[in-house]
Structure 1
Amino acid sequence: MTLVGASREPALLARTKELNPDTREGKAALDELTERAVTLAGANKKREHGTHLHTLSEAVDRGEPLPLGTSDRDLADMAAYKLATVGFDSVAIEQFVVADELGVGGTFDRLLHYSGPGPDGRPFDGLLIGDLKTGSVQYGGLKMASQLAVYAHGQRYDHTRFPVDGRDKKALAAWRKTPVPAEEAVTAYTEAPEVSQDWGVIIHLPAGEATCTLYWADLRIGWAAALLARDIRHMRSTRGALAKFESPARPIV
């Protein structure tokens, strides 16, 4: 996609020849040119439209009217979304959680109450993590199951209690070194309601197609993948796997 964007503005390629990727300034400039090329190729437009559909779906789940001027195409998408999710009650929208066991955090789209047949056909009555996807889901099943599993194992965390601008590297470095008493740190955590750690739901709403499909996500597989990823990250940081071979000294005859 980057090459597609560069083909639409050839000056981008010419500019890259003037930059040194081994310097901080050169790398930053190359990153900016890459983002420019991706934008020219239309990737950001798709991403922004996906964000727009997320916002509209939140209004639907809150029972709020859609904004004036919403396009017919978006209205059709929201109608499909509403029809597909009619069996769910939205309990929470866009909440940040952390999984300390993995050292990661993220924001889930929905916490849903569902009562009906489960993926095995047996009755299910409880809370599910739901995630809305507006792009392709053809090849990302394991990644999505892992993402939802992390949410399901996480605790709600109020990151606004300890604010920092993550884009400011100096401020972030100072923030990381700032000691916080345990009794104060624990106040940011809120015990999450009991949510299924076996199953989640992917809500697939491809932009502009007026169709919405639901998929069960097996969070047991997803959690195993998340733990494996953690272990791989740990192993990648391990040092000392190689040691220089020292030949024994030969006796002088």
Structure 2
Amino acid sequence: MLNLMEIPQKAKPLHPNLSVPRDGWGRPLVVPEGGGKPKGHTRTTTFIDCIEDKSNLIDWQGRMVLMGATKRADLLDKARDLDPDDSADKKTLNLLVEQAKDAAGANDKSRKGTYLHDLSEYVDRGDPLPKAISGADLDDMAAYMMATAPLKVVAIEQFVIVPELSAGGTFDRLSYYEGPGPDGRPIKGNFITDTKTGSIEYGKLKMAAQLAVYSRGKLYDHTLFPVDADDKAAIKEWKKQEFTAEQAAQAYSPLPPVNQDWGIIVHLPAGTGTCDLYWADLRIGWAMANLALTIRQARSTKGALKPFVMQTTGTEVASSSQGV
């Protein structure tokens, strides 16, 4: 029987991963490689989001709002006199929508997923699991441990930047694997590994793109440019600072050699006591990431529409009158 309380230590972080400062849109603020002022970088998941078909998600969210409203009639009372076109009322309505979704349990899976991610860190760091863990969670962690046994965790939760995309994010794991590859032939090396606790029926291209971006990232140590990430005034002043190229270079370091053709998805559906591994084709994923870059750049294209102007000269008016 597996003893999850006596797991050997597997990994230590490559760099400390304290809170990364962010701007008002939640984007990580990063000092560019060549130096200069801190610049907002798009989160990796946001960057590749444009390639995903969100129709199912939008429909699901609409259903959750409606179900939440049946449980929280007070939200309807608060929304009744608000104007959806008024800037101030929009914010209030958005807040009420989130409260309705929460009342319907729309955020339960997300919170559960975050919790399982936290528990998996205990496993991979070799730390004892919390004493208050439920039986179902223990089953999930046992399944996780068995499925990931072929993987040796090299690094956990590392923040990386991909300068050519102006994107950054934190990957779950860097894992060493040696054994049969996706085509059955022997393969070995370090692989970006990401854990998913929800359905993987949709979003396969997005998953591959996410891991592909991480695999091409550079480690970024933001602690070399200290600022209180929770102090908005401090961040405002910090954003005005100019950093030299020499200072910036110290914050960037390469990942250990990592496979950029294949990554690994760890599918740990919450509460099922099952866990399965999948190969993610990062060649397809990187093509999708570059497509996302093209789409994002294209959004700034101007001139697609022009005003329809009818202008007649004096001569044209006279000719028209004579014709009548």
Q: TM-score, normalised by structure 2?
A: 0.72
The residue aligned with 1:121 is 184
- Residues 144, 249 of structure 1: alpha-carbon distance in 2 compared, 3 angstrom cutoff: same
**1:228 and 2:304 matched:** no
- Residues 175, 231 of structure 1: alpha-carbon distance in 2 compared, 3 angstrom cutoff: farther
Query: What are the Cα deviations for residues 112-149 of structure 1, in whole angstroms up to 9, with x where unaligned?
Result: 00000110111111000000010110011001111111
CA distance in 1 between partners of 2:167 and 2:122 (Å): 28
Instruction: For 1:202-241, list aligned pairs within 5 A.
Output: 202-241=265-304
Give 1:190 deviation, angstroms: 1.5
Q: TM-score, normalised by structure 1?
A: 0.91
Larger Cα-atom Rg: 2
Instruction: For 1:71-110, list aligned pairs within 5 A.
Output: 71-110=134-173
CA distance in 2 between partners of 1:6 and 1:245 (Å): 44
Matched AA of 2:122: A
- Residues 245, 9 of structure 1: alpha-carbon distance in 2 compared, 3 angstrom cutoff: closer
Instruction: Flag as ranges the 4+ runs of structure 1 deviating above 6 A.
Output: 245-249
**Secondary structure class of the residue paired with 1:66:** coil
**Secondary structure class of the residue paired with 1:101:** helix
The residue aligned with 1:69 is 132
Segments of 5+ residues of structure 1 without an aligned counterpart are none
Matched AA of 1:119: P
- Residues 9, 188 of structure 1: alpha-carbon distance in 2 compared, 3 angstrom cutoff: same
Give 1:46 deviation, angstroms: 1.8
CA distance in 2 between partners of 1:66 and 1:171 (Å): 37
Give 1:249 deviation, angstroms: 6.3
- Residues 219, 167 of structure 1: alpha-carbon distance in 2 compared, 3 angstrom cutoff: farther
The residue aligned with 1:38 is 101
Report the RMSD for the aligned CA atoms in angstroms.
2.1
- Residues 114, 172 of structure 1: alpha-carbon distance in 2 compared, 3 angstrom cutoff: same
Segments of 5+ residues of structure 2 without an aligned counterpart are 1-63, 320-324
| More displaced stretch, 202-211 vs 243-252 | 243-252
Q: Identity of aligned pairs, percent?
A: 54
**Secondary structure class of the residue paired with 1:217:** strand
CA distance in 1 between partners of 2:147 and 2:126 (Å): 16
- Residues 180, 18 of structure 1: alpha-carbon distance in 2 compared, 3 angstrom cutoff: farther
**Secondary structure class of the residue paired with 2:165:** coil
Give 1:33 deviation, angstroms: 1.0
